[in-house]
Amino acid sequence: PANGPGLAALPYLRLRHPLSVLGINYQQFLRHYLEHYPIAPGRIQELEERRRRFVEACRAREAAFDAEYQRNPQRMDFDILTFTIALTASEVINPLIE
């Protein structure tokens, strides 16, 4: 059996969600995880706090850009574009990135 084709011989397994192989869905898995691993709620709260701080920082930077744009529109056009690209990239890579 170790020399056999393994899971590659069962193409339908590759098409299904990995948890469905175990007969559970994501909500069941999450509930089980939260019930059996007490550190999880603290970790979730930590991630929510990081996200909140990230959003607050973005709003503060946006307000600063708006104020500076009123003083120097030409210079700020480039800075706004740079910030927008960086923010978009960080959201694509990881919404919780710091």
Domains of the chain: total: 2
Instruction: Mark whether 33 and 74 lie in a shared domain.
Output: no
Q: Which residue has the tokens 């708006």?
A: 66
Instruction: Mark whether 86 and 56 lie in a shared domain.
Output: yes
Quote the pLDDT of residue 12.
46
Residue 62's nearest CA partner among 82, 80, 39, 86 is: 80
Instruction: Report the first-to-last Cα separation within the chain, whole angstroms.
Output: 46
Instruction: Mark whether 76 and 92 lie in a shared domain.
Output: yes
Instruction: Mark whether 51 and 95 lie in a shared domain.
Output: yes
pTM over 0.85: no
User: What tens digit of pLDDT does each residue of 50-89 get?
Assistant: 989 999 999 999 898 788 878 877 776 777 788 888 878 7
DSSP string, 14-57: HHS-GGGGGT--HHHHHHHHHHH-THHHHHHHHHHHHHHHHHHH
Instruction: Mark whether 15 and 43 lie in a shared domain.
Output: no
Instruction: Mark whether 28 and 42 lie in a shared domain.
Output: no
* Structural domain harbouring 26: 1-37
Instruction: Mark whether 13 and 51 lie in a shared domain.
Output: no
User: What tens digit of pLDDT does each residue of 14-57 get?
Assistant: 445 565 656 677 777 777 777 777 776 777 788 888 989 999 99
